[in-house]
Amino acid sequence: MNALFAADPLFNGDGLWGSIFVVVLLKVVIAFVVLLVSVMLYIWGMRKWIADMQNRTGPANAGPFGILQTLADGIKLFFKEQSIPSSADKPIFRLAPYLSILPAFLMFCVIPVGGKINVLGHETYLQVVDLPIGAMFILGCSGIAVYGVMLAGWSSGSKYPLLGSVRASAQMLSYEAAFGLGILSVLMRAGTMSTREIVNQQSWTNTDGILQNLSNFYVVPAALGFVIFIIAAIAETNHPPFDFVEAEQELVGGFVTEYSGIRFAIFFLAEFMNIITMSAVAVTLFLGGPNGPMFMPARFGQSGWVNGTVVPILWFVGKVLLLTFGTVWLRASVPRLRYDQLMAFGWKWLIELAVLWVLVTAGILVLGDRGWNPAAAGVLSFGIAGAAYGLLYLCMPKSGETVEEFR
Amino acid sequence: MNDYLPLVGMIALVIVFVLASFVASILLGPRNPNSAKQAAYECGIVPESEPAERFPVKFFLVAMSFIVLDVEIVFLYPFAMVMRGLGVFGLVAITIFVLVLLIPFAYLLSVGALAWGPVAQVIREIVPVRRTSVAVLDPALTEGTTGQAA
């Protein structure tokens, strides 16, 4: 029982009241505020980066370098009228923003941001909660996010939101399978679902060389899993080039067409928070989370406040920044796909590839345990998987072939 | 179960935050609804019909295929946890499990249930009419249309 439930040393002692309660509250509030501020900065940074890529200035007036632009936009929306269409299903119309924003916050709770710290005499992880089923929790949260989009569009009682939300939920469902299988390729190597354990297994040791340490990160042994995960995560968060939810030429505003004022702001917030959270998940699962080279270990020691607390946080933030910059770069440079291209890519390539990659990983690991030569195990696994994909490919209707129509 | 306490705290905090923003917006924002403002958006014209209740069946097919895949994934997660312990037996078992699930998937692909491309243009081939008594009496019997994809 202890191994299943009490992963965070904070809860090892008996009792929950008094200072432990304060520590929990503190962690939750700090994570909440940090997430809100980081979304604010991300939206500003995104606009600034895209402006640079398009040879413009971008937001420049609110605060130094326009850094308060997002805050100004948010405050403005408080003073706007919230209009609900008379044809809307009002309770669900009001509920949808909650369903959209909750998973974004909850998913971040299982992300380890740094090592252990001491607060009010209690030792605790720099992570809101260390669930023994952390990875599955991430999958569940990304599943709930679909409901926010679907119900928002359905409850609006209007045409464009309905079309947009049906389309968006089909997209998010399609890529959720690949998303889950991408996570799985890490879980099989890690043998645990706890995000803290996964991060610990990608540790950085000072005695090894840089290449040796980098290959500890799961991005190297599970490279294909990383690619699948990133593509699926971009589609899950409805980010360009997969932003069909807000394909304004086709759907006006998609599922948020009827939302105005602060309700729209909440959806907007959730969308961009999802990008930060997904980047954090990718960093945790594949890029070693807060692990990285220490800063002058001879001078500052291995686990002082510099190398024990500050440097891991900096590594984590740095890696997340790198991935979020990647999403902005995508937004600036890749045009939106066509909807049938998206669905065809998801169902005909990504899901098969992800399923077979899971089998290949299992084959390599299990046969490796039995003492097989890794090359032989790899060739056998890839051979069987390749044959399976070949058979599937033969089943797919080729272009120009007539298929029975399902519409 | 104490581990889950912070999650409850986070849920409560988010709900309070969203609720507070809504209340603040009601207090701060103007409130003068009229019928034009409350009408469903349709590019400026008055909506004449209700939003569609029937949808292309493909969306439902996607949803159902997704359920099959999702259940498969949920079964694969515990397998990933105990994979090393199960050894070759587990490997063979999970391979059979996945392949069995891939067969209906292959069927779905082959009948085009997951094909979203543009509808194939159907060219109607003109069959030369043979001058028989039947053809004169009932042209539909010979002047046929055979569906052929472009």
Tell me the domain boundaries of chain B: 14-117
Q: Which residues in chain A (341-380) have CB-CB distances under 8 A to chain B? A: 343-344, 347-348, 351-352, 355, 358-359, 362-363, 365-367, 369-370
Residue A170 and residue B63: Cβ atoms within 8 Å?
A: yes
Q: Which residue has the tokens 């936009």?
A: A73
Inter-chain CB proximity A109 and B6 less than 8 Å = yes
pLDDT confidence bin for A44, thresholds 50/70/90: very high
User: What is the per-residue pLDDT across A84-97, written as a single tens digit (0 to 9) for each?
Assistant: 888 888 899 888 98
Q: How far apart are CA A230 and CA A48, in angstroms?
A: 23
| pLDDT(B83) > 80 | yes
Residues of A in contact with B20 (CB under 8 A): none
What pLDDT does A378 receive?
85
Question: Which of A24, A252, A358 has the CB atom closest to B9's CB atom?
Answer: A24
Amino acid identity for residue A270 in this structure: A
CA distances from A69 to A36, A54, A63, A66, A277 (A): 14, 19, 7, 5, 22
Residues of chain B found within 8 Å of residue A192, distances taken between Cβ atoms: 81
Q: Measure the CA angle with vertex A247, ends B118 and A276; round to 5°.
A: 120
Report the candidate in A63, A48, A137 with the shortest Cα–Cα distance to residue A324.
Answer: A48
Q: Supply angle C-alpha A107, A4, A34, rounded to 5.
A: 25
Nearest chain A Cα distance for residue B134, angstroms: 32
Rounded to whole angstroms, the Cα distance separating A386 from A80 reads 56
CATH number for the domain running over B14-117: 1.20.58.1610
- Quick one: tokens of B25? 């917006």
Separation between Cα atoms, residue B38 and residue A82, nearest integer Å: 10
Q: Tell me whether residue A135 is exposed, middle or buried, using C-beta atoms within 10 angstroms of its C-beta: 0 to 12, 13 to 18, 19 or more.
A: buried
Tell me the two tokens of residue A138: 């991430």
The CA R_g of chain B, rounded to the nearest whole Å, is: 30
Chain-chain contact of B10 with A135 (C-beta, under 8 angstroms): no
The continuous run of DSSP H or E covering A117 comes out as strand A116-119
Query: Nearest-CA distance from A27 to chain B in Å?
Result: 8
What is the interface size between A and B, counted as CB pairs within 8 Å? 262
Q: How far is CA A1 from the centre of its chain?
A: 30
Do the chains contact at A370 and B4, CB–CB below 8 Å?
no
pLDDT 10s digits, A94-150: 889 888 899 989 999 899 988 777 777 777 788 888 888 888 899 999 888 888 888
Report how far Cα A191 is from the mean position of its chain's Cα atoms: 21
Q: In whole angstroms, what separates CA A48 from the centre of its chain?
A: 22
Q: Are A156 and A88 in contact (CB under 8 A)?
A: yes
Query: Smallest Cα–Cα separation from A220: which of A308, A285, A150, A163?
Result: A285
Which residue in this structure is represented by tokens 């939920």?
Answer: A169
Q: In the prediction, which pLDDT does A38 show?
A: 92
B16 touches chain A (CB under 8 A): no
Question: Which residues 6+ apart lie within 8 Å of A392 measured at CB?
Answer: A352, B102, B105, B106, B109
Residues 300-329, chain A, touching B (beta carbon < 8 A): none
CA dist A363 → A185, A217, A369, B79, B147 (Å)? 12, 20, 10, 13, 46
What whole-number distance in Å separates Cα of residue B69 and Cα of residue A230?
A: 19
Q: What is the mean pLDDT of chain A?
A: 84
Residues A38-64 have a mean pLDDT of 89
Tokens of A169: 């939920």
The CA distance from A110 to A133, in Å, is 9
pLDDT at B147: 45
Q: Report B:81-120 residues touching A (Cβ under 8 A).
A: 81, 83-84, 86-88, 90-91, 94-95, 98-99, 102, 105-107, 109-120
pLDDT tens digits for range B112-129: 777 776 655 444 455 555
Q: Residue A205 has which token pair?
A: 């040791």
Strand partners, B123: B148
- pLDDT above 80: residue A320: yes
The DSSP-derived string for A221-248 is TTHHHHHHHHHHHHHHTT-TTS-GGG-H
pLDDT in tens, A197-245: 888 888 888 777 788 888 888 888 888 999 999 999 999 888 888 887 7
Structure tokens at A218: 């799961």
Mean pLDDT to the nearest integer, A386-399: 79
ipTM of the complex: 0.83
Per-residue pLDDT tens digits for A246-286: 767 777 777 888 888 888 899 889 989 999 999 999 999 99
Task: Please indicate whether, in this complex, the C-beta atoms of A136 and B77 are within 8 angstroms of each other.
Answer: yes
